């Protein structure tokens, strides 16, 4: 797979435009002038985001026998966030420019003396800690006693359900609980498209291990997670694992490494892998009065497991795959845009294209579509010239097009066209599903 030019200064703009033009991601509330840094996933985006999450679930849950799933509530008790430390510590240092009134995260300013918006010198207020959790009220009266928070991470749902899962799944350490879903953070400086938004999706797994095995499993999950991105076509030279220095570590962490991606603006976080020790289970255990421990009946041993957490962002990961897949080349003297997405991530795996709109071809083309639909997402397109329809599919990353032509009426065969090699092969309709399965790999 060719490496897209990460130094292409227009890459971000090209991907954002493609997302809007082809229905991956729309700015939210656009007809009302938009709603800052909020996005809606369109017909293709919703397919691709599902595929990213499905690929994660497949690797983290389906193909393993030591990880089970969970879908915990988004709206949750303040007691969770008090015990986890989020109420006290989940803050960013906020400064205001007294001249232009813009707000910034102090730790993200290149020059702490100069406002990046208006250029004023020494105009910042003292930094104050700003809690990133969205607060709301449960029930009709806003009293202060019925405060609830939108979860800022999915992780805590796994810790507070540790005993429920342990008892019902009959797993023993090392074992994991995986969850995907929405999280909310009132980010001071959202931006870079869906890289940092206030509403986003996470894919997190908490892996509970015997206390003396933390380091071993931390290293194991760093390797596994790096491999996952590469198995899905992320070029190795656009990925790296960066271990945090001691002064960067979160209050709960005995070791953290970020999977970083080469974004158009430089290396940045894609996923964090942390050795959270027994911090969370101990904190929720003492706050709730429950013993969040594992008791080994065979040895009589009782302990609070340590936790290794690979925490990824689904929406951010989708953006990274789009950036890595975007490329432009030339076919027969014509420029084309291609998303070289892995077949598991592409919104459609196959498109059925009758050569002409003539009624004679429609029944057999529709028959081919119906044959493919139970297996993969298949699109049907009979508008415009065949060349333009190929380009449209290339641009959204469809790995294979199946062309139905007039000969099909005679020989009941169709042409498979490969997005990357442009190779075309003729196959009988009867063996089309097998042929595509062999090429797609699933
Ligand atoms: N439970 C640990 C945790 O939440 P995190 O590093 O804060 O760790 C994990 O978040 C991942 O979630 C990040 O690596 C990123 O991919 C994604 N993420 C975090 N904040 C985000 C935001 N505001 N917008 C989009 N994705 C975000």
Give residues with Cβ within 8 angstroms of 185, minimum separation 6: 132, 133, 134, 152, 198, 200
Kindly report the protein residue whose alpha carbon is nearest to atom 24 of ligand 1.
196
199 CB near ligand 1 (under 6 Å): no
Please give the distance of CA 334 from its chain centroid, rounded to a whole number: 33
With cut-offs at 50, 70 and 90, classify the pLDDT of residue 11: very high
* Strands of 304-363, DSSP E: 306-313, 326-331, 334-339, 350-354
Please answer whether residues 341 and 306 qualify as being in contact, where contact means their C-beta atoms are separated by less than 8 angstroms: no
Name the strand (E) or helix (H) holding 288: helix 279-288
Kindly report the protein residue whose alpha carbon is nearest to atom 10 of ligand 1.
311
Using the structure block, give the residue that is written with the tokens 């995260």. 105
86 CB near ligand 1 (under 6 Å): no
419 CB near ligand 1 (under 6 Å): no
> In this model, does residue 434 exceed pLDDT 80?
yes
Confidence at residue 170, expressed as pLDDT on a 0 to 100 scale: 92
- As a whole number, mean pLDDT of residues 425-440 equals 98
CA atoms lying within 13 Å on the CB side of residue 56: 27
202 CB near ligand 1 (under 6 Å): yes
The DSSP letter of residue 335 is E
342 CB near ligand 1 (under 6 Å): no
CA of residue 255 to ligand 1 center, whole Å: 17
151 CB near ligand 1 (under 6 Å): no
Q: Which of 85, 186, 202 to mutate to test the pocket of ligand 1 (most atoms within 8 A of CB)?
A: 202
At 176-199, the pLDDT tens digits run 999 999 999 999 999 999 999 999
Taking the C-alpha atoms of residue 275 and residue 207, their distance in angstroms, rounded to an integer, is: 10
Beta partners for 310?
A: 273
Kindly report the protein residue whose alpha carbon is nearest to atom 19 of ligand 1.
313
- As a whole number, mean pLDDT of residues 91-99 equals 92
84 CB near ligand 1 (under 6 Å): no
Taking the C-alpha atoms of residue 186 and residue 66, their distance in angstroms, rounded to an integer, is: 34
CA of residue 399 to ligand 1 center, whole Å: 30
The 8 Å CB, 24+ separation contacts for 260-266 are 261/234, 261/320, 261/323, 261/324, 262/6, 262/237, 262/238, 263/6, 263/192, 263/195, 263/320, 263/323, 264/6, 264/8, 264/9, 264/11, 264/12, 264/323, 265/12, 265/192
At 112-157, the pLDDT tens digits run 899 999 999 999 999 999 999 999 999 887 677 789 999 999 999 9
155 CB near ligand 1 (under 6 Å): yes
Using the structure block, give the residue that is written with the tokens 């983290």. 60
315 CB near ligand 1 (under 6 Å): yes
Beta partners for 308?
A: 207, 275
Q: Which of 109-123, 327-341, 393-407 has the highest mean pLDDT?
A: 393-407
Using the structure block, give the residue that is written with the tokens 């990961």. 317
Over pLDDT 90: what percentage of the chain?
88
Pull the structure tokens for residue 329. Answer: 């080349």
197 CB near ligand 1 (under 6 Å): yes
CA of residue 182 to ligand 1 center, whole Å: 11
Pull the structure tokens for residue 243. Answer: 């271990």
At 401-416, the pLDDT tens digits run 999 999 999 999 999 9
Pull the structure tokens for residue 185. Answer: 């953070």
Taking the C-alpha atoms of residue 232 and residue 48, their distance in angstroms, rounded to an integer, is: 13
Q: Which of 311, 314, 315, 320 to mutate to test the pocket of ligand 1 (most atoms within 8 A of CB)?
A: 311
Name the strand (E) or helix (H) holding 409: helix 406-411
Confidence at residue 2, expressed as pLDDT on a 0 to 100 scale: 41
Kindly report the protein residue whose alpha carbon is nearest to atom 4 of ligand 1.
153
> In this model, does residue 18 exceed pLDDT 60?
yes
- As a whole number, mean pLDDT of residues 295-311 equals 95
């Amino acid at each position: 797979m060719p490496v897209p030019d990460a130094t292409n200064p227009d890459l971000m703009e090209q991907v954002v435009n493609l997302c809007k033009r082809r229905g991956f991601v729309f700015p939210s509330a656009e007809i009302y002038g938009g709603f800052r840094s909020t996005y809606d996933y369109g017909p293709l985006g919703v397919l691709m985001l599902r595929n990213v999450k499905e690929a994660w679930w497949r690797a983290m849950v389906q193909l393993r026998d030591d990880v089970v799933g969970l879908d915990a509530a988004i709206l949750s008790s303040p007691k969770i966030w008090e015990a986890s430390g989020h109420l006290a510590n989940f803050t960013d240092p906020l400064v205001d420019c007294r001249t232009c009134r813009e707000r910034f995260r102090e730790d993200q300013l290149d020059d702490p003396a100069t406002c990046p918006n208006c250029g004023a010198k020494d105009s910042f207020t003292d930094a104050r800690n700003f809690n990133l959790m969205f607060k709301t009220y449960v029930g009709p009266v806003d009293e202060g006693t019925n405060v609830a928070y939108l979860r800022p991470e999915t992780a805590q749902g796994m810790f507070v359900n540790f005993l429920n899962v342990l008892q019902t799944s009959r797993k023993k350490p090392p074992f994991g609980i995986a969850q995907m879903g929405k999280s909310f953070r009132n980010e001071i400086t959202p931006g870079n498209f869906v890289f940092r938004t206030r509403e986003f999706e996470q894919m997190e797994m908490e892996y509970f291990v015997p206390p003396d095995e933390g380091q071993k499993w931390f290293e194991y999950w760093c390797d596994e997670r790096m491999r996952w991105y590469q198995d899905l076509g992320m070029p190795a030279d656009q990925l790296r694992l960066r271990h945090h220095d001691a002064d960067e570590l979160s209050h709960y962490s005995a070791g953290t490494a970020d999977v970083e991606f080469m974004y158009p603006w430089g290396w940045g976080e894609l996923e964090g892998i942390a050795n959270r020790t027994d911090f969370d289970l101990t904190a929720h255990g003492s706050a709730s009065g429950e013993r969040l421990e594992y008791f080994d009946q065979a040895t009589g041993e009782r302990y609070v497991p340590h936790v290794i957490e690979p925490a990824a962002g689904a929406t951010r990961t989708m953006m990274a795959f789009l950036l890595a897949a975007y490329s432009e080349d030339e076919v027969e003297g014509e420029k084309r845009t291609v998303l070289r997405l892995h077949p598991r991530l592409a919104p459609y795996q196959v498109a059925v294209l009758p050569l002409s709109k003539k009624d004679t071809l429609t029944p057999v083309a529709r028959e081919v579509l119906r044959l493919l639909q139970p297996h993969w997402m298949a699109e049907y397109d009979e508008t415009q010239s065949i060349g333009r329809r190929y380009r449209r599919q290339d641009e959204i990353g469809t790995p294979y097009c199946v062309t139905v032509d007039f000969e099909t009426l005679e020989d009941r065969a169709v042409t498979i066209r490969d997005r990357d090699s442009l190779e075309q092969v003729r196959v009988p309709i009867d063996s089309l599903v097998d042929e595509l399965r062999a090429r797609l790999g699933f």
